[in-house]
Structure 1
Amino acid sequence: MPGTPDIPDGLPDRLGALAPSLGPVRLVAVDGHAGSGKTTFAARVAAALGGAPVVHLDGLATHEEPFGWVGRLRSQVLAPLAAGRAAEYQVYDWTLRRFATSRRIPAAPVVLLEGVGAGRRAVRPALAALVWMELDAAAARRRGELRDGPELAEFWAGWARAERAHFAADPSRPYAGLRVDGVTGRIVRGTVGDPAHGP
């Protein structure tokens, strides 16, 4: 997609060198506003890591509970990975409005957790790293609406309200050790991954 970020030089090696945070797994969250480039960025990082598995939080969220997925994440993903076992989580179908399939996640050296709220308070203790996609909510929404088309305009309006309420109560951005520009893919100066900032 035009305008989506590449990955910063050296980031895959840096993530692979982190201490495990969840049993044998280094769980890396990619958070940011809807439309900020999280899914594309996570896919590129996963590919650079040789096919690291990605947990997509929109598969755990539902229409009724857009941010009510913590219990499912803990029981279906975090607990098995912490025990060194493969996880398998039920995937929500946004068209059928029910959990319709499942996805297996091996206890790989690095597992990516991608989605709005991936760096929330309840998840942070399990993380080896938290990456925030730096794109403001309005710009991210414009990008998302352009991607999804006018038929999802009503969904986006409702989502924007839910997202604002979530981040007001449980912000992720202040806790991100690494912030990545959602357009250029460059590391934002002053964060841990910025070469001028040090390790």
Structure 2
Amino acid sequence: MPSDADQMEITELAATIMSRRTERGRPIVVGISGYGGAGKSTLARELLGLIPDSVRMRGDDFLDPSRSHRRSTDWDGVERSRLVREVLGPFRDRLPSRFRRFDWSARALGEPEPIPTGEVLIVDLIGLFHPEVLGALDLTVWCDVDLATAQRRGMRRDSELGRDHSNLWNEVWVPNERDFDELFAPASLAEIRIPML
């Protein structure tokens, strides 16, 4: 639960997003990124409640379940080009499009479905601030939590859901985050940094 100070920052962020939508004169895409466990989904859900005609695209829908569980220097398991091609570009241009979510139980792409429609699309995803995606984002927001804290939160969340991903956190996900930081400095690419305390 965000503190009063955090809530004020989130309210101000919502106002900034609505202002950006007015400036652009078309639907916009807001990218929220940060480390695993930093609070990306929490922030996205908060914003949905504050921004009229906003919709969300869950980042997990564009994570390949097998590739996201192995080491890579650029979060290889994040299907960024497909996200841009199937969802972000068409949303901004008000074009009909269909996309396929990863079905985590089947470990394969699900059936095609229409992209959501609205005036603001909020997408929250690890490894989002990458050259393949940046041009398709109208506003970039970083959940500003240090990696050690994000890891603790993520591991606690997994434990509460009955999942033991300790080895993945320590051997894959945290090293992936460090490599991605070194290659792309994603926090420095954010227009807005929101402390998720």
Q: Normalising to structure 1: TM-score of the pair?
A: 0.79
Name structure 1 gaps, 5 residues minimum.
184-199
Q: Which runs of structure 2 are paired with 1:82-93 in the superposition (5 Å)? A: 82-93=92-103
2-structure distance, mates of 1:84, 1:125: 17
**C-alpha displacement of 1:16:** 1.2
Runs of 4+ in 1 over 6 A off after TM superposition: 20-23
Contact persistence 2:21–2:119 (CA under 8 A): no
Closer/same/farther in 2, CA of residues 96 and 82 from structure 1, 3 Å limit? same
Q: Which residue of 129, 153, 166 maps to 2:166?
A: 153
Q: What fraction of aligned residue pairs are identical, expressed as a percent?
A: 24
Q: Deviations over 1:22-65 (max 9, x none)?
A: 99221111110000000011111011113511112221111343
Q: Which runs of structure 2 are paired with 1:16-165 in the superposition (5 Å)? A: 16-19=18-21, 24-50=26-52, 52-66=54-68, 67-68=75-76, 69-101=79-111, 104-149=114-159, 151-157=164-170, 158-165=172-179
> Partner residue of 1:193?
none
**C-alpha displacement of 1:103:** 5.2
1-structure distance, mates of 2:66, 2:179: 15
**What amino acid does structure 2 have at the position aligned with 1:8?**
I
> Partner residue of 1:174?
188
Q: Deviations over 1:47-86 (max 9, x none)?
A: 1113511112221111343334122112211232243124
* Higher fraction of helix: 2
Name structure 2 gaps, 5 residues minimum.
69-74
Please say if 1:12 is aligned against 2:22.
Answer: no
1-structure distance, mates of 2:53, 2:42: 14
Q: Deviations over 1:8-30 (max 9, x none)?
A: 23322221111579992211111
Contact persistence 2:143–2:193 (CA under 8 A): yes
1-structure distance, mates of 2:12, 2:46: 13
| CA root-mean-square deviation | 2.5
